[in-house]
Amino acid sequence: MLQLKQDRLQCCCLLLCPIMDLCGVVFLLALTSLSAAAAPDCKDLIQPFMPEDPKQVFGKWVYVMGAGDPKPYHKALESLKSSWIELSPTSQSQVLNLRWGDHCFDRCISGEVNATISGLATTFRKNLSDHKGHILQTCSDCLLWTDTFRNGDATGRYILQFTRTGKIDPKEVEIFKKQVGCLNFPENFHSFDGKTELCPDANESTE
């Protein structure tokens, strides 16, 4: 039962979750296009970075696909039917606010947390778990976040792909597959089905 509870806690957004869990959400999102001049190798594909203009990560993002490790956390992603995150600045330059709405275990779960940026890493605490994440390079108008977390003696990690629209070009999916392989995540990554409606945003409904 304890393991199941931990799986449920980690399934839902991070950050970011954004910079994810989502999972901690949140955050290491990438917003620059990979060079098409030559096929990038693993070193290029998994190098953490921070956009020159941090404002590029602000705004709402929709979960597209992801993978978890070890297996129980990867399996938990199957219960995530849809997810969005929103990143916004705070009065402190090194602190981001992360809000999320996850459709998980047949219900909507929402929340928010502040995340602290230090160099290329972002840290935050969510659902009794401590998260540390990085943004990786990805497609334009995309955000790719890798997240490692600890909850007591339990540890795990996620890689989560977000886009502005919830859709992604098939060519970019192939690049994501390579990144998953380079980081030794399960190859059978989880994908948003595109059918489950996003959870409502209380902030939007009050505007």
Residue boundaries of the structural domains of the chain: 2-198
pLDDT over 60 (residue 44)? yes
Contacts of 173 (CB under 8 A, 6+ apart): 65
Using a 10 angstrom Cβ sphere, with 0-12 exposed, 13-18 middle and 19 or more buried, the burial of residue 155 is middle
- Whether 133 contacts 29, CB under 8 Å: no
User: CA nearest 176: which of 140, 138, 206?
Assistant: 138
User: CA nearest 131: which of 18, 55, 40, 49?
Assistant: 18
Q: What is the pLDDT of residues 78-89, one digit of tens each?
A: 999 999 999 999
Q: What is the pLDDT of residues 49-58, one digit of tens each?
A: 888 887 889 9
pTM of the model: 0.80
- Whether 94 contacts 15, CB under 8 Å: no
DSSP 8-state symbol, 7: H
Q: What is the pLDDT of residues 96-113, one digit of tens each?
A: 999 999 999 899 999 999
Number of C-alpha atoms within 13 angstroms, CB side, residue 180? 22
Q: What is the pLDDT of residues 10-37, one digit of tens each?
A: 444 444 343 344 333 333 333 333 333 3
AA letter at 141? D
Contacts of 193 (CB under 8 A, 6+ apart): 81, 82
What mean pLDDT do residues 139-167 have?
93
Options 3.40.50.620, 1.10.3720.10, 2.30.42.10, 2.40.128.20; CATH of 2-198: 2.40.128.20
- Whether 146 contacts 26, CB under 8 Å: no
